[in-house]
A and B are shown apart, each in its own frame.
Chain A
Amino acid sequence: AQKVTQAQTEISVVEKEDVTLDCVYETRDTTYYLFWYKQPPSGELVFLIRRNSFDEQNEISGRYSWNFQKSTSSFNFTITASQVVDSAVYFCALSEILDYGGSQGNLIFGKGTKLSVKP
């Protein structure tokens, strides 16, 4: 069975601090996708990144960076120099690739980490 674990329920930091959100996943599939979504207080789910299981390259996008390590089944997310606008719930998610149509399966989410960035 597939499972995503985000052990950190809530994190509170002061602006400009760096913060890392942990994500550990379980799957028997050899091919899968990993995601991070941001959910601000307004409620929408904002896509941040998708990673293919074959691509273990780390990625950086502005203040955001992601570290994918297949050996430890982890896909961690770091925000550098955090800002108040980063305050949100962050979800890590996993999906399989379905045989028919080569399409993506449904997302399995972790419980989310609530990040509070204080000025």
Chain B
Amino acid sequence: AAGVIQSPRHLIKEKRETATLKCYPIPRHDTVYWYQQGPGQDPQFLISFYEKMQSDKGSIPDRFSAQQFSDYHSELNMSSLELGDSALYFCASGQALDTQYFGPGTRLTVL
């Protein structure tokens, strides 16, 4: 069965640089969620999209933005990176009341 695809899997950036993370949801899933998991922490909800429209917003910094495209893939754009942005970033997808399925995550390291 197809799973959620995230790219890249690993990313190393310098402070103040920008990063773009990509997420390809499971086919026919209409909702995409982004989560951030700091070291030793639980995943924290950032933002979600339903049918390409932003549906909910969590603790997403103003330096971050995201969108969902016509083919349903989503991108998380992160600017002016800080050391504290180093984390595992998960994308999850779901359809209606179906379970959220998580991608493998992108590990971002900011030096």
Interface residues of A (CB under 8 A from B): 35, 37, 43-45, 47, 50, 91, 95, 97-98, 100-112
Contact = CB atoms under 8 A, between A and B. Distances in A.
B96 A101 contact: yes
Contacts of B42: 91, 109-112
Interface of B: 30-31, 33, 35, 41-45, 48, 50-51, 55-56, 58, 88, 90, 92, 94-102, 104-105, 107
Most buried by B among A97, A100, A105: A105
A50 B58 CA distance: 22
Please provide the 3 A-B residue pairs with the shortest distance between their CB atoms, ordered closest to farther. A106-B45, A109-B42, A45-B102
Given A104-B99, A109-B42, 10 more contacts: A44-B105, A50-B99, A97-B97, A101-B30, A103-B31, A104-B94, A104-B96, A106-B35, A107-B92, A111-B41
Contacts of A104: 31, 94, 96-100
Nearest to A4: B42
